[in-house]
Structure 1
Amino acid sequence: MYSSLDSFLSLIFFFTILSLTHSSTEYLKLPLIPRTTLSNVSNILAADLHRISGLRTLPQSPLTSGAAMGSGQYFADLRIGSPPQRLLLVADTGSDLVWVKCSACRNCSTKRPGSAFLPRHSRSFSSYHCYDSPCRFVPQPTPTHCNNRTKLHTPCRYEYSYADGSTTTGFFSKETTTFNTSSNKQGKIKNLAFGCGFKTSGPSVTGSSFNGAQGVMGLGRGPISFTSQLGRKFGNTFSYCLLDYTLSPAPKSYLTIGASSNDVISRKLFSYTPFATNPLSPSFYYITIQSVSVDGIRLPINTSVWGIDDNGNGGTVLDSGTTISFLAEPAYRQVLAAFRRRVKLPAAEGATALGFDLCVNVSGITRPRLPKLRFFLAGKSVLSPPAGNYFIEPADGVKCLAVQAVRPGSGFSVIGNLMQQGYLFEFDLHRSRIGFSRHGCAVR
């Protein structure tokens, strides 16, 4: 875990090495492509459970939903290298490191999205030396390969491990990345620090939830994340919309780095909630849930259920890398009981087999009436998602409550990417707050 001083020094370093070849008054604009289907729900749920079990202990574009490829992730389209190579990375607010799968292939084509980045085909690629200052900001293999000071050309090696046993291992490197800007000009960012991974293993980085991706774009609050590295150049803000995968034709939106909500819609249309702080997990975007209601009736959930204890457990994280949402078990049981009381539809068979506690039969019903869920947050804001954000259709004529329980001592509650659908979320690191609005997605 990084100290405050380490984080400050690392930010100073990255601000120094990053350079931009266009006006800093512009912002980066990466189109979003919504999902077309939500397939392999059991695989997505299993991947989420792996992730939730590991998030508490993790080392600290256009976006495309991976659902059509059997994944519950959203992908960022990163163009990296000189000339640019196109790679799809999982857009993840729950982690920091930017890393890609790398290959030493000399004769592979770079014209189409490949299975890996080809550093031999890029004239701007270089890896950090093991004695370079940035090397100390990534987890090192054991034993370290930088003990012998006579090895003057030893690259910086990293080993990023997840609690479920998944790992990515390779060289911590720097590259030029290419983006479109808000004025539809092409911008280049030099010396973006990232992991060039030559070995990956485990379900988090090779399983069905990772289908179609060649790496991860860490958007967390830590010093080596994509957003932290670009932060000072672009005002320490970023925003995104995760659009409804059921809409046809597919609407277009964007992940933007540096755009203020004033560039898109009136700030009056935003609700804001402050970041909560957890010194033991400083990379995550914590928010504070104060209460929950179902059909306008506030549930009798003790406020301590949402708190962060002295060991860093608890709290609620907004996470784009998790599909469904997870609530602390005492809160989940109250929510589940309230839904069971309020749902007037017949129960669907096989809910347990699908991995959910509540499934209803909606065959022949055009607009089934489903209870309204609301989250009341710190800052007097209310997250009031439509039913499609927490009821999914894993089989024809069946809708299931896409919320799960977090077992006691297992970590924090999570607002996943499904619950975030259709909202414009603005992450304002300068003011330490998150804004959200039901307006502004389609026009971006």
Structure 2
Amino acid sequence: MASPVFFVFLTLLFAQLSLLPSKLLLLPLTHSLSAAQFNNTPHLLKSTSARSAARFHHLRHRNQPTTKHRRQVSLPLSPGTDYTLSFSLGSTPPQTISLYMDTGSDVVWLPCSPFECILCEGKYSPATIPNPLPLDLSSSTPVPCKSRACSAAHSHLSSSDLCATARCPLESIELSECGSFSCPQFYYAYGDGSLIARLYSDSLVIPMSSPSLILPNFTFGCAHSALGEPIGVAGFGRGVLSLPAQLASYSPQMGNQFSYCLVSHSFDNESVRRPSPLILGRYSADEKEKRFGDVGDEFAYTPMLDNPKHPYFYCVGLEAVSVGKRRLPAPESMKRVDGRGNGGMVVDSGTTYTMLPKELYESVVAEFGHRVGQFHKRASSTEGRTGLGPCYHVDDSVVSKVGSVNVPPLVLHFGGNSTVVMPRKNYFYEFFDGGDDGKVKRKVGCMMLMNGGDFPDSGGPAGLLGNYQQQGLEVVYDLENRRVVNPERVEFGIDCTWGLGPELGGLVKLQLLYDHLLVSCFLVPFKRKVALITVAFGI
């Protein structure tokens, strides 16, 4: 039977649902593994580690010369490492589509009918990714060649060049009368795939609000052919064609800030099915103080680093990593981005594991091994099966001798004196391995950071913060401050662990927590519950 506290929560829940302000919008993110059955943990870890390495290495090696028409925009996306969101597009009737949410891309694109996907066998399974189906363009309008959106899709070529490519006559180009000529199709490359798309506009409908939010003239890429990319992408990068940028033109309050809180799952079948909240918008400082009083500065801020070569990436500087009480300084390449676009750490929603440069990774492994290795035997065979390491045996027979699994704290030190203490499950994963050839399975634990290698001549970012390490942390992308003196910034919340138990649905519960209604007004007497919730948003 539910506790009396639960009924209080439930009563307040329905009483406050209508108070969610129009300046905030909440959408569910679905993990691409949410509908999958993954019984072989080492195989799953091997697959996700390989994808993480491929995605990062593509990012590191993408600075080769390209023609001005070639546009390498994003990182490779693969089922099993990403989160999807759904909305509707069009008006006759609206068509529901599901796309990858990707902070490493700056455009929204989707498959359109007719659609041909080359070499897509084995990359798509209806059991793991909701099928968006090729879009019917009957209500969509081609974007003209003279538009700003067309220029952005073609790496900011001039509208005159683009209209000439679209076969607009010279006289019409000189008189700016090429409105009837469509934007030429553009090429878009990923790490293990590519596509050719054409820009269209239509109404975007976000049904999670009441009434539904409609963005007229929403611009998106329509792909009729793709290589190895069967699913579309909702780009959340810093370009003018990204979803937040287009939302900002409709509602600056909602579009200039967004955040997500990825549910802590550790590849657990049940946890991975829970939706993660994507929050568009945020209270202004004055409005928050008016509604909730002075709650202080609840986030650790780190400056956003400008990248002249890849301006759509969210790059931050990593100063050091602490393992236990020892602080390991990061190389200079991790702290800043140079004039050629090299260096810094990309905050990426589409890569599973964090990638560190070889020197820093080896220092972390050595210190980690010094702390853990004296108590636990190395599980080398597990490292070979998972692509992760170091791994150690942590079964009951070992733990009983030392009292507990001796895993040191791990802290990331970002620029701007921003310090994030990582939850242990974000960097040390325990599971059962073995059982082959009649052997008994043993419990092992692996460090969930990866070696990004050392490629001094390849350029690109020096490291990457993956979504596995972002679990349980509200990561807020503050885009509004780009317009003032302060630099852009990424905010790292302390911990968004759910504290109300399983009775309340996670999505609505987080909506109310984010709105601070229950926290500030009603949960103060429940000290134990509030401890978790206040950690959630740092009140």
Q: Which amino acid is the alignment partner of residue 246 of structure 2?
A: Q
Q: Which runs of 5+ in 2 are unaligned?
A: 1-19, 63-70, 116-128, 156-160, 170-177, 434-442, 482-487, 499-509, 512-539
RMSD (Å) for aligned C-alpha atoms: 3.3
Q: Which amino acid is the alignment partner of residue 437 of structure 1?
A: G
Residues 362/234 of structure 1: CA separation in 2 closer, same or farther (3 Å cut): farther
| Segment of structure 1 superposing worse, 144-153 or 417-426 | 144-153
Residues 117/441 of structure 1: CA separation in 2 closer, same or farther (3 Å cut): farther
Q: Which amino acid is the alignment partner of residue 49 of structure 1?
A: A
Query: Partner residue of 2:376?
Result: 345
SS in 2 for 1:168: strand
Q: Which amino acid is the alignment partner of residue 303 of structure 2?
A: P
The CA distance in 1 between the partners of 2:110 and 2:455, in whole Å, is: 34
Query: Partner residue of 1:46?
Result: 50
> How far does the alpha carbon of each residue in 1:369-403 deviate from its partner, in whole angstroms, 9 at most, with x for none?
32211111122221111121123357542332221
Aligned length: 395
Residue 32 of structure 1 contacts residue 241 of structure 1 at CA under 8 Å; is this kept in 2? no
Aligned: 1:88 with 2:98: yes
SS in 2 for 1:188: strand
SS in 2 for 1:342: helix
Q: Which amino acid is the alignment partner of residue 428 of structure 2?
A: F
SS in 1 for 2:480: coil
Aligned: 1:76 with 2:85: yes
The CA distance in 1 between the partners of 2:424 and 2:495, in whole Å, is: 17
The CA distance in 1 between the partners of 2:208 and 2:447, in whole Å, is: 39
Q: What is the aligned-residue identity percentage?
A: 30
Residues 190/368 of structure 1: CA separation in 2 closer, same or farther (3 Å cut): farther
The CA distance in 2 between the partners of 1:302 and 1:42, in whole Å, is: 28
Deviation for aligned residue 1:103? 1.9
Query: Partner residue of 1:320?
Result: 349
Match for residue 119 of structure 1 among 119, 136, 150: 136
Match for residue 392 of structure 1 among 429, 441, 454: 429
Residue 302 of structure 2 contacts residue 418 of structure 2 at CA under 8 Å; is this kept in 1? yes
The CA distance in 2 between the partners of 1:339 and 1:228, in whole Å, is: 41
Match for residue 186 of structure 1 among 197, 209, 212: 212
Deviation for aligned residue 1:244? 0.8
Query: Partner residue of 1:414?
Result: 464
Aligned: 1:433 with 2:489: yes
> How far does the alpha carbon of each residue in 1:245-292 deviate from its partner, in whole angstroms, 9 at most, with x for none?
247566554212222387699453221111122222211111111121
Residue 472 of structure 2 contacts residue 496 of structure 2 at CA under 8 Å; is this kept in 1? no
The CA distance in 1 between the partners of 2:332 and 2:236, in whole Å, is: 29
Give the structure with the higher percent strand: 1
| Segment of structure 1 superposing worse, 267-276 or 327-336 | 267-276
Query: Partner residue of 2:304?
Result: 275
Query: Partner residue of 2:111?
Result: 101
Residues 70/194 of structure 1: CA separation in 2 closer, same or farther (3 Å cut): closer
The aligned runs of 1:4-403 (5 Å cut-off) are 25-33=22-30, 40-56=44-60, 57=62, 59-60=72-73, 71-82=80-91, 83-104=93-114, 114-120=131-137, 123=139, 125-139=140-154, 146-149=165-168, 154=182, 156-162=184-190, 164=191, 166-180=193-207, 184-202=210-228, 205=229, 214-232=231-249, 233-235=251-253, 236-246=256-266, 248=270, 252-260=275-283, 266=295, 268-303=297-332, 305-343=334-372, 344-350=375-381, 351-364=383-396, 368-393=405-430, 396=433, 397-403=443-449
Name the larger-Rg structure. 2
Residues 32/438 of structure 1: CA separation in 2 closer, same or farther (3 Å cut): farther
Residue 27 of structure 1 contacts residue 234 of structure 1 at CA under 8 Å; is this kept in 2? no
Residues 170/384 of structure 1: CA separation in 2 closer, same or farther (3 Å cut): same
> How far does the alpha carbon of each residue in 1:25-66 deviate from its partner, in whole angstroms, 9 at most, with x for none?
523220234665677222222222221122253734xxxxx9
The CA distance in 1 between the partners of 2:51 and 2:356, in whole Å, is: 17
Residues 394/96 of structure 1: CA separation in 2 closer, same or farther (3 Å cut): farther
The CA distance in 1 between the partners of 2:331 and 2:416, in whole Å, is: 19
Residue 424 of structure 1 contacts residue 441 of structure 1 at CA under 8 Å; is this kept in 2? no
The CA distance in 2 between the partners of 1:349 and 1:261, in whole Å, is: 51
Give the structure with the higher percent helix: 2
Q: Which runs of 5+ in 1 are unaligned?
A: 1-22, 61-65, 106-111, 207-213
Residues 277/153 of structure 1: CA separation in 2 closer, same or farther (3 Å cut): closer
Q: TM-score, normalised by structure 2?
A: 0.66
